[in-house]
């Protein structure tokens, strides 16, 4: 019998990029899995290969709806809470990001505690740290998130810890750094750097580099990340936060160059203005994870990028419509919240007066 064959797991955000890989991992080891997803950014296509699997149930629902959450957690032994709204959306629409990421997490914690869930894993983000000045970043750091996204994920961490300390629920926090691999988002404000660069390279279009490309991230191949999420959830002694990362920083310019080489593309690299509130340096220390589990993610960036390029070549046809969905500034999409529009208009007017 495998380690997870007796568990009933809820995966919120299970139709998303990381979530769907976690579902693959759990089903492969014999767990029964429920997915709760509102399909705002996740897609049924990400789970289509499990269509005939009786061990998977997909529930469409919003984590801001307590009844949907209550129904989803009922009878579950383990909850993996991944559902959230992304950092780029938080640059223009911080309120919904706060609600889903902070209030939504509180809903999940409350209903899980009420339903007698045995273990709760909160999937946080390296963005809780903000730009690193001490590297590699340990878990206990002087949190200075640059965005409402980072702050809302940190709020979720605090709530998760409170439930543990109060004795209401057995919880653990995974803090993955940037993930990449098959099924990663490329369109609109969900679009992340690696799939955008791969598709741009495969189409011979310019790679849209924001800023000077010296900003760094600690990239982990997604199948490794989900393996560690499961191992953290199953480890009874794991509590508090664990970085899930390789402990190696890579510049975004290096990512662009590597993708150009792997795809043998002659695309140019086009430098655009930097993204507002971009984190400039992120790289974590996986020592706490290694101390607990004896290992940490190790797939090299060259190997992982090769696998990702191969997957995108085989599965994603870069049609003109698809390429049009890779807007040059991935974070801009229509109007921002009214107060932010007003603030930007006032700031622009002041700048014009000065010039
Ligand atoms: N980035 C870029 N070009 C793109 C998309 C992203 O240069 O087309 C940069 C972005 O400014 C950031 C890094 O790549 O510094 C990672 O961005 P992403 O949105 O993938 O993830 P984040 O770490 O910001 O959540």
Segment 70-79, tens digit of pLDDT: 999 999 999 9
Cα–Cα distances in Å, from 257 out to 202, 204, 254, 264, 337?
13, 14, 5, 10, 36
Question: Which atom of ligand 1 is least distant from the CA of 197?
Answer: 8
The CB of 50 under 6 Å from ligand 1? The reply is: no
Residue 341 lies in a domain: no
Query: What's the pLDDT tens digit per position in 286-332?
Result: 999 999 999 999 999 999 999 999 999 999 999 999 999 998 888 88
Indicate whether this model's pTM tops 0.85: yes
Query: What's the pLDDT tens digit per position in 164-216?
Result: 999 999 999 999 999 999 999 999 989 999 999 999 999 999 999 999 999 99
pLDDT of the residue at 4: 79
Cβ atoms of 283 and 247 within 8 Å: the answer is: yes
pLDDT of the residue at 316: 96
* Residues facing 175 on adjacent strands: 243
- Centroid of ligand 1 to alpha carbon of 334 (angstroms): 19
* CA atoms of 43 and 258, how far apart (whole Å): 29
Residue 346 lies in a domain: no
Domain extent for 172: 8-325
Closest CA to 90 of 345, 340, 344, 353: 340
Which residue, by CA, sits nearest to atom 16 of ligand 1?
193
Residue 337 lies in a domain: no
pLDDT of the residue at 2: 66
Residue 115 lies in a domain: yes
- Centroid of ligand 1 to alpha carbon of 192 (angstroms): 6
User: To the nearest whole number, what is the mean pLDDT of the chain?
Assistant: 96
The CB of 215 under 6 Å from ligand 1? The reply is: yes
* CA atoms of 116 and 122, how far apart (whole Å): 16
Residue 351 lies in a domain: no
Residue 334 lies in a domain: no
Among 18, 127, 193, which is best to mutate for testing ligand 1, by the most ligand atoms less than 8 A from CB? Answer: 193
Eight-state DSSP code of residue 284: B
The set of catalytic residues is 149
Look at the chain and report how many structural domains it folds into. 1
Domain of 290: which CATH number? 3.40.50.720
The CB of 255 under 6 Å from ligand 1? The reply is: no
Which residue, by CA, sits nearest to atom 18 of ligand 1?
192
Query: What's the pLDDT tens digit per position in 282-294?
Result: 999 999 999 999 9
The CB of 278 under 6 Å from ligand 1? The reply is: yes
- Centroid of ligand 1 to alpha carbon of 214 (angstroms): 11
Residue 335 lies in a domain: no
pLDDT bracket for residue 3 (50, 70, 90): confident
Residue 355 lies in a domain: no
Instruction: Tell me the percentage of the chain whose pLDDT exceeds 70.
Output: 99
- Centroid of ligand 1 to alpha carbon of 278 (angstroms): 8
């Amino acid at each position: 019998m495998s380690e997870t064959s007796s568990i009933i797991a809820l995966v919120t955000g299970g139709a998303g990029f990381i979530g769907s890989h976690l579902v693959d991992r759990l089903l492969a080891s014999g767990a029964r899995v429920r997915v709760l997803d509102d399909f705002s950014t996740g897609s049924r296509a990400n789970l289509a290969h499990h269509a005939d699997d009786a061990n998977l149930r997909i529930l469409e629902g919003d984590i801001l709806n307590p009844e949907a959450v209550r129904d989803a957690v009922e009878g579950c032994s383990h909850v993996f809470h991944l559902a959230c709204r992304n950092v780029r959306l938080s640059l223009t629409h911080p309120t919904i990001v706060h609600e889903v990421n902070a209030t939504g997490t509180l809903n999940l914690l409350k209903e899980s505690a009420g339903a007698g869930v045995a273990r709760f894993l909160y999937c946080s983000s390296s963005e809780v740290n903000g730009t690193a000045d001490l590297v590699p970043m340990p878990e206990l750091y002087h949190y200075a998130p640059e965005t409402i996204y980072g702050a809302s994920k940190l709020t979720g961490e605090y709530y998760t810890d409170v439930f543990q300390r109060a004795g209401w629920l057995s919880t653990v926090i995974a803090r993955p750094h940037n993930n990449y691999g098959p099924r990663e988002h490329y369109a609109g404000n969900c679009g992340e750097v690696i799939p955008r660069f791969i598709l741009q390279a495969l189409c011979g279009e310019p790679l849209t580099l924001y800023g000077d490309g010296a900003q760094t991230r600690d990239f982990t191949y997604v199948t490794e990340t989900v393996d560690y999420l499961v191992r953290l959830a199953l480890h009874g002694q794991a509590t508090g936060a664990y970085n899930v990362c390789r402990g190696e920083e890579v510049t975004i310019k290096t990512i662009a160059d590597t993708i150009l080489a792997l795809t043998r593309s002659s695309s140019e690299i086009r430098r655009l203005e930097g993204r507002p509130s971009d984190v400039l340096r992120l790289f974590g220390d996986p020592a706490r994870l290694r101390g607990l589990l004896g290992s940490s993610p190790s797939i090299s960036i060259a190997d992982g990028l090769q696998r990702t390029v191969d997957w995108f070549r085989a599965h994603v046809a870069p049609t003109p419509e698809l390429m049009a969905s890779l807007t040059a500034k991935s974070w801009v999409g229509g109007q921002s919240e009214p107060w932010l529009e007003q603030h930007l208009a006032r700031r622009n007017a002041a700048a014009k007066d000065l010039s």
